[in-house]
Amino acid sequence: MSLEKNAEDKPFKCEVCDKRFGRNSYLKQHKLTHTGDKPFKCEVCHTMFGYKGVLKKHMRVHSGDKPFKCEICHKVFRQSDALKIHMFIHTGDKPFKCEVCHKIFRQSATLKMHMLIHTGEKPFKCEICGKIFTRSSHLKGHMGVHSGDKQFKCEVCHKMLKHSIGLKLHMRLHTGDKPFKCEVCDKMFRQSANLRQHMRVHTGDKPFKCEICNQMFGHSSSLKQHMTMHSGDKPFKCDVCCKQFGRNIYLKKHMKTHTVEKTLKCEFCYRIFAHTHSWKQHMMMHSGDKPFKCDVCDKLFGQNIYLTKHMMTHTGEKSFKCGICDQMFAHSRTLKKHMTIHT
């Protein structure tokens, strides 16, 4: 379109950014983006808006009006855009694609949040403690830590929660409601986030990367646990014997040694065990059985963990990192011994 034709069709021009409009009323609304003025006020909650149409949509929050209905499942929505996005569930369309890992999404907003995994960006910052978050909802939830406010009460168990969404999710514990279904294996979940995490089992997606050894993980919690291997941290402590562990699952397994009856007896040294796995591993010590073989030097081992550690002598891999001087070690015990230099 020529400049002359554009000026003729859109005679109203913004003096700030030169954008043109077909009507003067559109230009007036547009100018609010430059001035920051919000002349339209909600009489219920006093929130201000720049556009009358946005205020009109906002009022549905207070009225409960949901005029847009899905003709397939009859779910209703406050906004037409929300209905449009919802329809992708029925059609299966996922028009938004990540250019890094090629994962596809139904919503542009979901793609935008997903991209933060690749960039590592955390744009939402707590002004009180400086902690940063990838999502505004996570920051909003975090703020309850500082305020201590818990104004939403469960009428079943009387538990108090900081947010209405938290109460909504909590109520599913009582109702047993699991509205999110995996289309692959039909497993049901209480939260959409749990379904998204579960889907990685089927897709094999592992978006979380260890910056030390480049190992990939499907969940941030798995990466966090893995990092204790490099740091040597053992944050999980047994309250009975004070033994410490790098992962909570190891502590839970250990606790059974204090609570579970030991019924499996070694016929050679009369040591007793609570678990068949532990008993079998111990019996190899007496039998001399070493089923795990190194493919490089043919050395044999009684347990796979010993073979894994031995392989580092061939690969030169050093997975354990000192958090103070960044020196790397092949074994956790060597790192532990090294740490005494700093203490």
The answer to whether residue 323 scores a pLDDT higher than 50 is: yes
Range in 28-32, 102-106, 260-264, 271-275 the model is least confident about: 260-264
pLDDT band at 260 (very low <50, low <70, confident <90, very high): low
The dihedral built from the CA positions of residue 54, 55, 58 and 59, taken in this order, carries a sign that is negative
The answer to whether residue 43 scores a pLDDT higher than 50 is: yes
How do residues 160-176 score in pLDDT, each as one tens digit? Answer: 887 777 888 888 888 88
Q: Which of 260, 284, 285 is nearest to 274 (CA)?
A: 260
Which whole number is the average pLDDT over 46-54?
A: 84
Which whole number is the average pLDDT over 202-215?
A: 82
Classify burial at 306, counting beta carbons within 10 Å of its beta carbon; exposed 0-12, middle 13-18, buried 19 or more: middle
The answer to whether residue 7 scores a pLDDT higher than 70 is: no
Q: What is the pLDDT of residue 6?
A: 58
Question: Would you give the distance in Å from CA 341 to the centre of its chain?
Answer: 37
Higher pLDDT among residues 127 and 321, named by residue: 127
Residue 75 phi, psi dihedral angles, 5° rounding: -70, 145
Neighbours of 153 (CB within 10 A): 12
pLDDT band at 135 (very low <50, low <70, confident <90, very high): confident
Q: What is the pLDDT of residue 200?
A: 83
How do residues 212-235 score in pLDDT, each as one tens digit? Answer: 888 888 888 888 878 877 777 788
pTM score: 0.36
How do residues 266-312 score in pLDDT, each as one tens digit? Answer: 888 878 887 787 888 888 888 888 888 888 898 888 877 788 778 87
Place of tokens 């400049």: 3
The answer to whether residue 1 scores a pLDDT higher than 50 is: no
Which whole number is the average pLDDT over 20-34?
A: 84
Q: What is the pLDDT of residue 5?
A: 54
3-state secondary structure of 260: coil
Distance CA(83)–CA(68), nearest Å, equals: 7
What percent helix, strand, coil does the chain show, rounded to 5?
A: 45, 15, 40
Q: Which of 127, 152, 153, 158 is nearest to 140 (CA)?
A: 127
Neighbours of 38 (CB within 10 A): 14
Q: What is the pLDDT of residue 55?
A: 87
How confident is the prediction for the chain on average, in pLDDT? Answer: 82
Q: What is the pLDDT of residue 268?
A: 85
Distance CA(124)–CA(63), nearest Å, equals: 31
pLDDT band at 143 (very low <50, low <70, confident <90, very high): confident
The answer to whether residue 3 scores a pLDDT higher than 70 is: no
Q: What is the pLDDT of residue 4?
A: 56
Q: What is the pLDDT of residue 215?
A: 82
Residue 181 phi, psi dihedral angles, 5° rounding: -115, 135
pLDDT band at 121 (very low <50, low <70, confident <90, very high): confident
Q: What is the pLDDT of residue 148?
A: 67
> Could you tell me if 179 and 195 are in contact, meaning their C-beta atoms sit under 8 angstroms apart?
no
> Could you tell me if 51 and 41 are in contact, meaning their C-beta atoms sit under 8 angstroms apart?
no
Residue 220 phi, psi dihedral angles, 5° rounding: -65, -35
Distance CA(72)–CA(86), nearest Å, equals: 11
- Domains of the chain and CATH, by start: 3-65 (3.30.160.60), 90-206 (3.30.160.60), 207-259 (3.30.160.60), 290-343 (3.30.160.60)
User: Which token pair is 101?
Assistant: 């890992």
Which whole number is the average pLDDT over 34-45?
A: 84
Largest CA distance in the chain: 100
CA distances from 318 to 222, 229, 329 (A): 20, 11, 5
Q: What is the pLDDT of residue 164?
A: 76
